[in-house]
Amino acid sequence: MAERSTFDMGRTIVQALALLLVLSFAVPYVYLVMTSLKPAAHVQQIPPSFLPNRISVENYLTVINTQSMPRAFLSSVAVAVLTTILSLALSVPAAYVAAQYRRPITVFFLLFALITRMVPAVSLGVPLFQLLKSLGLLDTTFGLVLAHTSAAVPLVLLLLAAFFDGLPKEMEEAARMDGCSRFQAFLYIVVPVMKSGIAISALFAFITSWNEFLYALLLTSQNSKTAPIVIAEFNSVYGLSWGPMTAAAVLYSLPVVLVTLVLQKQIIGGLTFGAVKG
Amino acid sequence: MAKISLKDINKVYGDKFHAIRDLTFHIEDGEFMVFVGPSGCGKSTALRMIAGLEKITSGELRIGDEIVNDVDPKDRDIAMVFQSYALYPHKTVRENIAFPLQMAGIPRDERARRVTNAARVLELTDHLDRKPGQLSGGQRQRVAMGRAIVRQPKAFLMDEPLSNLDAKLRVQMRAEIASLQRRLGVTTIYVTHDQVEAMTMGDRVAVLKAGVLQQVDTPQILYARPRNIFVAAFIGSPSMNLYEATLDGELLVLGEQTLKVPSSVFAARPAIRESANRPVIVGIRPEDIDDASVTTKPEFEEIDAPVSLVEALGAETMVHLKIDAPWVDAGDPDAVAEIGDEHTAVGRFSPATSVRPGDTARLAISADSLHFFDPETRVSLW
C-alpha cells in the first residue's frame, strides 16, 4: 500500500508539472483569443480583464476590411507553400540517400544539418540579406522562399532521415529486381510507402515558414510582406491597435491550429519516430 | 530459363573482409540449386551478387551466355524473393504481383491475365484486393512468390524465404515451392541455413563456409560422401559424431574400446589403408548407432557408452552418450553449445530401447557406414 501511495504522489507531481507546462503555452493563446473578442473600447482598459465583458467581432471586421491583411495572408500562403515544395524536393532524396546509403560523409551531412539548426537565426540574417541583395531577390516572394527553405531544410532533412531509417532496404532492392532503376524504385515505391512521413515533414516545413518572423522582417519591405509582419505593424493614429492585431493573430493561427489538432497523433508519432524505432 | 555460371567469383568489402573466395560452379538450366551454410558463410552475398544487388569484386558471372557482372538488376531478367518478402505495403496483392509486369511494359489485359493465373496457382484469388498488411505470414510469402513467377524470368533467386514462417507452415511451403519450381522448370537458387530445407528441396546443394565453397553435390552424395568434416557435420540432423581415433590394422581404436572395420570399408575407401596405425578422425552418424539389445541392424560392432540424456520422440529415441575419445569440432559457428563441459555423441535408437540416463548402454554401431577423415587436412579419406 505504501509503495502504491508513493507512486501516486509521483504521478500527481508529474501531472501538475505537465499542467503548468501546458498552461504556460495555453494561457497566452487563450488570452489572445479573449482580447480579440473584446469591444475596441475595452481592449486597453486598466486594469486589464481576462474575459471580455461582452463578446464582439468588431476587431475581426476591422481586420477583414483592411487592405494590407488579405494581401499579406496570401503572401504567407504563397511563401509557405513554395517553401514546403522546395524543402521537400531537396530533402526527400537527400534524406533517403543519407539514411539508406549510410557512409561517414552522409553522417557528417546530417550532423551538419543539425548544427545549422543550433545557429541563432539572427546570425544568419545578415549573410542572407547580403546574398539576396546581390541576387536582386530582396523583397520578393522567391527570395523569402529561399530564406525560409534554408531554415526548413535542416529540420525536414533530420525528420525524414529518421523516417527513412526505418524503411527496409529490401523495399528498394525488390523494386530494382522488379524492373525499376534506382530512381524509379525511389519514385514508385519508396516515396508512396513513406507518404505519411513525408506529409508530416511537409507540415513542419509549412509551419516553419508560416510562423517565421525574423527573415520576413529583414528581407521584405513592401511587396512580399507576410502576415506576421503586417500583424506586428497593426497600428492606428492612437498607437498600436491591440484589438485588430489580436484578431489578425487568431485568424492567422487558425489554419495551423486546426491542422495540428487533426494530425496530432501523426505529428507526435513523427517527432518520436527515431526515438522509439522498432 | 538459363544456365548460371560463376567463375572465380570474389567479394571483398573495403580491402579487409573477404566474404566470398574463388567461387566457381555452374547451375544447369531448370535446376534447383540450394546454397546452405552457417550464418556469415557468404551464401546471401553470393545470391545478391547473382541478383546484381552486390558488386562483384573479381571473377565472371554468366546468366545464359551473357557476362552480367556490370548489368543492372533490372536488366538481368531474374526475380527474387526476399526473406522479409519486401511486399509493397501501399499496393494491393493484385498491384504487387502486377508491378514487375507494369515495369516491363506488358499491356493491361495481358497483365490482368497473368496476375489471375499466378493468383490461381498460389491460391490467392480471394485476396487479390487486400493489402499485404491484411494477410497472414503464409499468404504474404505466396504474394512474394507470385511477384516472382508472374514475370516468367530466366531464374528465381530466393533468400531464406521461409525463415519467418512457423515450423508447420514452413514444411508445407517447402513442399509447395519445390513442386512449383518443378512445374515451372525455372532455374532456381535458394539460400537457407536450414540443412533439412536444403536436402529436401535442392536438386543439388552447395555448402559454404567462411566464403569458401566446401562441396556442391546432390543431397544423397553430400550425405553419403561428405568431402570434409564440416560438410559431414553440417549435413544431417542430428550432426555426425566426430572423434579422434586410430586405425590399428583392421581395428579402429576409439578411446579404450575397439571396433572391427569391415573389409568392404577398406575396399570402398582405399585411402584409409594408408592411414593404418595413424590417427584418423572417425565420423559416426546418429542413425548408425542403436541399442544393441533391441537393434534390427543385420551387422554391427559393439561398444559401451554411458547414457547422459534420453529424448523419446515416439518413432525414435535420441540418446546422448559419453564416448571415451577426444571429440572433434567440425567448425560450425552455429552449432548449439553443449550443456556443461562435456561433448556427447547422439544415437538415434529404436523406440524399443529401455536405456535410461545413468545406464551404460551397449551400442550397436554400423561399422560399414563409418566415415574417415584426415586429422590434418580434415578431408574425407576415400
Strand order in the sheet with B58-63: B17-27, B4-13, B58-63, B66-67
Q: What pLDDT score does A275 carry?
A: 43
Domain, as residue range, for A232: 68-242
**Other Cβ atoms closer than 10 A to B134:** 12
Cα A1 to the chain's mean position, in Å? 47
Judge whether A186 lies within some domain: yes
The number of domains in chain A is 1
| 3 state DSSP class of B150 | coil
Percent of chain B with pLDDT over 90: 86
CA–CA separation, B17 and B66 (whole Å): 29
- Residue B364 pLDDT greater than 80, yes or no: yes
Structural domain includes residue A223: yes
pLDDT attached to residue B153: 94
Q: Return mean pLDDT, chain B.
A: 93
pTM to 2 decimals?
Answer: 0.84
Query: End-to-end alpha-carbon separation of chain A, Å?
Result: 35
Asked casually if ipTM beats, i.e. exceeds, 0.90, the reply is no
**Residue A270 confidence (pLDDT):** 64
Q: Distance between CA atoms of B125 and B121, rounded to whole angstroms?
A: 9
pLDDT of residue A103: 86
Query: What DSSP letter does each residue of B167-218 carry, written as one string?
Result: HHHHHHHHHHHHHHHHHHT-EEEEEES-HHHHHHH-SEEEEEETTEEEEEE-
Q: What pLDDT shows up at residue B340?
A: 54
Q: Report the C-alpha gap between A156 and A205 in whole angstroms.
A: 6
CB-CB neighbors (< 8 A) of A177 in chain B:
51, 53, 73-74, 78-80, 157
Question: Percent of chain B scored above 70 by pLDDT?
Answer: 98
Inter-chain touch A178–B100, beta carbons under 8 Å? yes
Predicted pLDDT at B309: 94
For residues A55-74, give the mean pLDDT: 90
- The whole-number average pLDDT for the span A104-115 is 88
**Any CB–CB contact under 8 A between B330 and chain A?**
no
In a domain, A250, yes or no: no
| Tens digits of residue pLDDT in B226-273 | 999 999 999 998 999 999 999 998 899 999 999 999 999 999 988 888
* CB B325 within 8 Å of CB B258: no
Q: How far is B197 from chain A (nearest CA, A)?
A: 23
Contact B32, B190 (CB under 8 A): yes
Is residue A23, in this structure, part of any structural domain at all?
Answer: no
How far lies A138's CA from each of A26, A115, A222, in Å? Answer: 36, 26, 10
**Phi, psi torsion values for B36, nearest 5 degrees:** -130, 150
The C-alpha cell of B56 is what? 562483384
Query: At B30, which amino acid appears?
Result: G
A143 is a domain residue? yes
* pLDDT score at B303: 95
Contact A181 B104 (CB under 8 A): no
The residues near A254 (Cβ < 8 Å, ≥ 6 apart) are: none
Confidence class of residue A277 from pLDDT cuts 50, 70 and 90?
A: very low
Sequence-distant (6+) residues with CB within 8 A of B4 are B26, B27, B50, B61, B62, B63, B155, B187, B189
Lowest mean pLDDT among A184-198, A242-256, B321-335, B349-363: B321-335
Report if residue A39 sits inside a domain: no
pLDDT in tens, B34-51: 999 999 999 999 999 999
Nearest to A173 among B79, B86, B104 (CB): B86
The answer to whether position A61 is within a domain reads no
Largest CA distance in chain B: 76
> Is A60 within the bounds of a domain?
no
Residue A114, domain CATH: 1.10.3720.10
The answer to whether residue A278 scores a pLDDT higher than 90 is no
Query: What does the pLDDT average to over B361-380?
Result: 95
Residue type for position B274: E
Instruction: Give me the mean pLDDT over the B326-339 stretch.
Output: 77
Residue written as grid cell 520576413: A216
What is the pLDDT, as a whole number, of residue B17?
A: 92
Q: Which helix (H) or strand (E) holds B78?
A: strand B78-81
- The span from the CA of B375 to the CA of B242, in Å, is 11
CA distances from residue A175 to A117, B92, B96, B106, B349 in whole angstroms, order as listed: 35, 15, 10, 16, 50
Check CB contact of A171 with chain B, cutoff 8 Å. Answer: yes
Shortest CA distance from A173: residue in chain B: B53
Summarize pLDDT for A199-253 with one digit per residue, the tens.
889 999 999 999 999 999 999 988 899 999 999 888 766 677 888 999 999 999 9
pLDDT computed for residue A1 by the predictor: 47
Cα–Cα distance, B155 to A240 (Å, whole number): 76
pLDDT for A274: 44
pLDDT-wise least confident of A166-180, B106-120, B193-207, B270-284: B270-284
B127-173 pLDDT, tens per residue?
Answer: 999 999 999 999 999 999 999 999 889 999 999 999 988 999 899 99
How distant, in Å, are the alpha carbons of A51, A235, A251 from that of A66?
26, 11, 14
pLDDT at B338 over 60: no
B147 to chain A, any CB pair closer than 8 A? The answer is yes
CB contact under 8 A, A173 and B53: yes
Please state, for a pLDDT cut of 70, what percent of chain A lies above it: 93
Q: Considering only CA atoms, which of B363, B256, B347 is closest in space to residue B302? A: B363
**N- to C-terminal Cα separation, chain B:** 37
